[in-house]
Structure 1
Amino acid sequence: MSGPVRLDRFRWWHIDEVLPIEADLFGAEQWSPAMFWNELASGHWYRVALDVDGTLLGYAGLTVQPDEAWVQNIAVRRNAQRRGIGRALLEDLLAEADRRGAHSVLLEVAADNAPAQRLYAGYGFEPVGVRRGYYQPSNTDALVMRRDAEPTGNGTDHG
């Protein structure tokens, strides 16, 4: 990352700050305030990336179930992209999945989002399926990608 960026817990007051980023990046497929409220109320792992002046640059979320975690979203404001913020957020989510003992991490990414797919592939995610017309209203397909935990050497997964 160029310039100091701090990762912190996503809190309810960040919702108003992420909505314009959602609208810009995802258009008609953006999450509603209620969707973010629901994620936070459910206790899912959500993080924000903040600039030194406190400006919210990006956010990411993870849902962890027994043995399995799902990346819910990773988004970085356009004028802050290509600074390693998405990578830092992804690494934070993967570390949390590991801490919680998830044996695999899955995500959906737009089939036409090659940069995101390359990022995920660099962290060991591999395509495992396609959800046709997953993103609405654009009817864009989602590529489902999965990353399995690496064996620890003692015959068990480290999660």
Structure 2
Amino acid sequence: MPTNADGVVFRDMTLEDVPAVDALEQRLFPTDAWPLHMFLAELSQPETRRYLVAESGGEIVGYAGLMCIEPIADVQTIAVVPEFEGRGIGSTLLTRLITEAGLRGAADVLLEVRADNPRAQQLYVRFGFEQIHVRRGYYRDGVDALIMRLQLVPEATADPASADPAPAHDPTTEAGKA
């Protein structure tokens, strides 16, 4: 199992993890926590979902999930317990979700982030996400959601007929030639 420098293990979320993840969800997002059955429903759809956990000392300290229905992937959730923030766990989870989105053929990765959560917004901007929309009053307590997008496949901006032709074959790049 892959680990980071702090010995944190990253792995796929299992059904056995759901009670611990649910407890963290209730603790970290008391106003907007997902009900337990949502995690169970998400894990039952591996053809379009991927959920991960981060563990330290046998305890789950972070989790994240992705839904991907080509050509769009959506970060469903990402969380790290406060005691483990600043150790690269959120970045590792996000990196793995973005990689998964690419492997599943997504052109874009979308996510919602609370307008009053600058730390998360900064993380997403570092990864190349751009704000594309605001959903007013999206969260239960009335806070807006910022909709952010990371383009994995750039939008076509040129007519394919006018694109540069393929480079000419260069025999000096063949094996054995220098």
Q: Which TM-score applies when normalising by structure 1?
A: 0.90
> Are 1:148 and 2:147 counterparts?
no
Q: Deviations over 1:82-128 (max 9, x none)?
A: 11100000000001001111000000000110000000000000000
Provide the residue aligned with 2:8 in structure 1: 5
Alignment of 1:66-85 (within 5 A): 66-85=70-89
RMSD: 1.3
Number of residue pairs matched by the alignment: 150
Q: Which residue of structure 1 aligns with residue 106 of structure 2?
A: 102
Unpaired segments ≥5 residues, structure 2: 155-162, 164-178
Deviation at 1:139, TM superposition (A): 1.3
- Give the 3-state SS of the residue equivalent to 1:42 in structure 2: coil
**Deviation per residue, 1:57-85 (Å, 9 max, x gap):** 10000000111100000001121111110
Higher strand share goes to which structure?
Answer: 1
Higher relative contact order structure (alpha carbons within 8 Å, sequence separation ≥ 6): 1
| Structure having the higher Rg | 2
Choose 82-91 or 18-27, whichever is displaced more.
Answer: 18-27
Task: Indicate whether 1:46 and 2:47 are aligned.
Answer: no
Partner of 1:125: 129
Letter in 2 for 1:141: D
Counterpart-to-counterpart distance in 2, 1:2 and 1:77: 17
The amino acid across from 2:98 in the alignment is: L
Sequence identity of aligned pairs in percent?
43
Give the TM-score, by structure 2 length: 0.81
8 Å CA contact 2:108, 2:153 repeated in 1: no
Q: Structure 1 unaligned runs (5+)?
A: none
Cα distance in 1 for residues equivalent to 2:16 and 2:136: 34
Offset, 1:28: 2.1
